[in-house]
Structure 1
């Protein structure tokens, strides 16, 4: 059965079974009967008593059953409920039970002292009396849903990249229609995606106007749906004369190919945040089945199956060539694209991406535009 299709009672039963298994046989987990006059609802919270055998001390868990938990839900629903519970009783601990919880939401819940149990192995519960400390890590990606349930826009796919790049590269305010026109996307699609981003607290709106974008988290969230070398087919090359002559040749070729030859990855990251040396030189080249070989010939490279020190990538979407920059004699991708590429790349590249992201946060005004491109 699809975990997302579980009825509330089944979700409660399975969630409490997870808790019982983690606590072990010396503990009892008991659902308390509803108080007299409590209103009936299929989503009614459950009150659960947890007690160790031979110990008179017990704790109560206020269970909140959710089919899905978003950052916006934590902020607007769970935190106000937590404040109310703590005003009434310091010894009742709120716990969310849901099929799956995203890593970012898990962090929000832990930071605010809210326990959680999901059915893929992610659990967090801290109780003072009796002493209970549980923390387990499970799936970092959601379980697959049936196609009929996939109605919301997600951060996967090339079209999303155009909007994500735009939101990161240009400071608000702006409206959905302006974003759709600038990103060359349909307004209904952009509207659905903005609703998803608002649920994730990656954007904030005042009416129909986007007033704030959490662009660092937005780039991280988008990178989770990318794999640099899988989404951008590449050809491995070796530079017989070393990398410096290749870099000189790239400067010339970028101008000849209408600036559609740009570096990314480790070499580009070192221009911004030099935290490492070496690594493969990664270069986006124009689309076309023979383009990598043609560019490789012009740069004096030799095609190899293993041991490549240069990777020529066919861009998955033209967005990688947008808002590129000349720096230190080289033509590189925009900073937002560089972060996406590094965070979704192999080896030490994610760490390089985080270093670039940190430099970007120091002064966004140096790279972030105040006006949408036409």
Structure 2
């Protein structure tokens, strides 16, 4: 059986040129040149000069300086392409920096557009803006990396409980702190934390000075984590009816919390928790985290006077995927609610209107960061 070689940079360039020609149409000419013609002193980041010539106007063209990369991160774009684009602008040259890659993440796309840098990937994400000749291209391709562009098994990702605990730490506590603080509090090995932080730094989700984490882009970090998290799939649930109404269920939870805090933990997430922070609509299911295992949801249903049903239900009893869901719970009117960060993760990974509710909670968090984010490394987190 023949072995297929992975795409090389020249083949990527050829595919990018063909895609660009299809987008522009057959009347436009796309001509490839050589970067030696431009003399920018940044040849290590550039692979080609492309001229885009409009129909019937051979005396003008859009000049693209193309960087072709098998893999690109926001950090690469920020440290290499943005300075190059800025220097070309300051020198008042006619050139536009343009990136071609198999796939470009949404975060990288946003950064490139912000600085007027064009891009095109082989899934259909593309951007190019030129005043003379007038060109405006903005198309959407895949939001997630194709299988051939995903990280190898040797790389860590934001999927799984370990990543969830690290993300919760990074969001809930204000830097500076060190990887050892994260590893100790999140109960994750230091080498694994260090590898994850390296990945997050490449995505510009964290910034470090020496060994210290000094900045966390926590809204984007929550969105990135939520991309690999499904609330109802990762937290298997039991559906139930509340014959005496949701208010009666909350009253029961309030009483059990006040009477004995050492009972099996319960915490509200989803619609009812989001509504307290930023009400968008009424109704929705009451979602309650319980302990993991086969029995806790059934025991809690019996304790709260719920009737279990096979599908749906106005109450969902979620078997927690990890103990992190109970960390830094808030008590709202006597009822334990998940922390703001967990609520956003659950909402972004939830069904129906939950992602919109989560974005509203994110807005509140951004405007009131001092009220919920701890300034220092925490002691062991409390139980509820």
Q: What is the distance in 2 between the residues matched to 1:367 and 1:162?
A: 17
SS of the equivalent of 2:238 reads strand
What pairs with 1:271-282 in structure 2 (closer than 5 Å)? 271-282=276-287
SS of the equivalent of 1:145 reads helix
Matched, 1:52 2:54: yes
- Whether the 8 Å contact between 1:47 and 1:63 is mirrored in structure 2 is yes
Matched, 1:94 2:103: no
TM-score, L = length of structure 2: 0.91
CA RMSD of aligned residues (A): 2.5
TM-score, L = length of structure 1: 0.94
Tell me: CA distance 1:145–1:166, structure 2 relative to 1, closer, same or farther (3 Å).
Answer: same
What pairs with 1:1-374 in structure 2 (closer than 5 Å)? 5-35=6-36, 44-56=46-58, 57-145=60-148, 149-254=152-257, 255=260, 258=263, 260-369=265-374, 370-374=376-380
- Whether the 8 Å contact between 1:4 and 1:145 is mirrored in structure 2 is no
Shift of 1:330: 1.1
Deviates more, 1:69-78 or 1:230-239: 69-78
- Whether the 8 Å contact between 1:3 and 1:143 is mirrored in structure 2 is no
- Whether the 8 Å contact between 1:4 and 1:67 is mirrored in structure 2 is no
Q: What is the distance in 2 between the residues matched to 1:36 and 1:122?
A: 28
Q: What is the distance in 2 between the residues matched to 1:159 and 1:148?
A: 17
Tell me: CA distance 1:2–1:343, structure 2 relative to 1, closer, same or farther (3 Å).
Answer: farther
Q: What is the distance in 1 between the residues matched to 2:312 and 2:228?
A: 27
Length, aligned pairs only: 374
Tell me: CA distance 1:349–1:148, structure 2 relative to 1, closer, same or farther (3 Å).
Answer: closer
Shift of 1:5: 3.5
> What's the CA shift string for 1:72-131, capped at 9, x where partnerless?
222211110101222345421111001111112111111111110001110111111111
Tell me: CA distance 1:334–1:147, structure 2 relative to 1, closer, same or farther (3 Å).
Answer: closer
Specify every segment of 5 or more residues in structure 2 that has no aligned partner in the other structure, as ranges: none
Specify every segment of 5 or more residues in structure 1 that has no aligned partner in the other structure, as ranges: none
Q: What is the distance in 2 between the residues matched to 1:340 and 1:82?
A: 36
Tell me: CA distance 1:90–1:144, structure 2 relative to 1, closer, same or farther (3 Å).
Answer: same
Q: What is the distance in 2 between the residues matched to 1:181 and 1:18?
A: 49
- Whether the 8 Å contact between 1:28 and 1:50 is mirrored in structure 2 is yes
